[in-house]
Amino acid sequence: MFSRIRRQREAKVSSSGPRLLHVVVAGGELDDWEAMTAAQWTARVGLLAAVAATHGARWVTVFPFGSRPVLGCQMTSTSYEVDGVHVLVSPHADGRRRIAETLRGATDVEFDEDSVEQLLHGDAGEPDLVVVLGSDDRLPPSLVWELAYSELVFLPVDWSVLDGERLDDALGVYFGRERRFGGVDE
């Protein structure tokens, strides 16, 4: 266990502070998402990618906060590339469902910690930062997997009013932290 903590710590922390490669944004409900037009989605994805890029991130994963499914939801996972930032939008708020669907699509895979991480996060790896939209007194039910080595920042805003300035503030909070990946001061 401690070798994994040290490996992660060395891989993610540079001498100038924490690096940010992968950001998860958890916010909104599926009905909020489905109410957005294609133009609104394009603008939102562009905003997320632009703010992430200014902080050096190359991957952004977005999923709704709630676990309540919307009957007849037509949304599917979609990926975008915007100015070198890969954005994955997943309508699956339930982390168990996301994991099950990911593993269901895997064939000829010997499952171990590395192969599951690759299937779930791909080249992005585990998230460095999870931005949760809403109150800091509850967590999205889908964060079980992402919480292993991720920092959490809560933004007390709704999905509909998330803007670049607020997201930039959340990333600034991340850079003000000392990341130890479960380790203790030596």
Domains of the chain: residue spans and CATH:
17-175 (3.40.1180.10)
The winner for highest mean pLDDT among 34-38, 88-92, 93-97, 99-103 is 34-38
Residue 116 has pLDDT above 90, yes or no: no
If one compares 122 and 84, the residue with the highest pLDDT of the two is: 84
Three-state secondary structure call for residue 62: strand
**Average pLDDT of the residues in 141-158:** 79
- 35-63: per-residue pLDDT in tens? 899 999 999 999 999 999 999 999 999 98
| pLDDT at res. 85 | 96
| pLDDT at res. 90 | 85
Quick one: how many helices (H) and strands (E) in the chain? 6, 8
**Average pLDDT of the residues in 146-168:** 88
Q: Give the integer Cα–Cα distance in Å for 26 and 184.
A: 28
Q: How many CB atoms lie within 10 A of CB 101?
A: 13
What does pLDDT average to over the chain? 78
- Give me the percent of the chain exceeding a pLDDT of 90: 35
**Residue 52 CB contacts under 8 Å (≥ 6 apart), including other chains:** 20, 23, 58, 59, 60, 85, 171
| pLDDT at res. 149 | 75
- Global pTM reads 0.78
Residues 110 and 123: beta-carbon distance below 8 Å: no
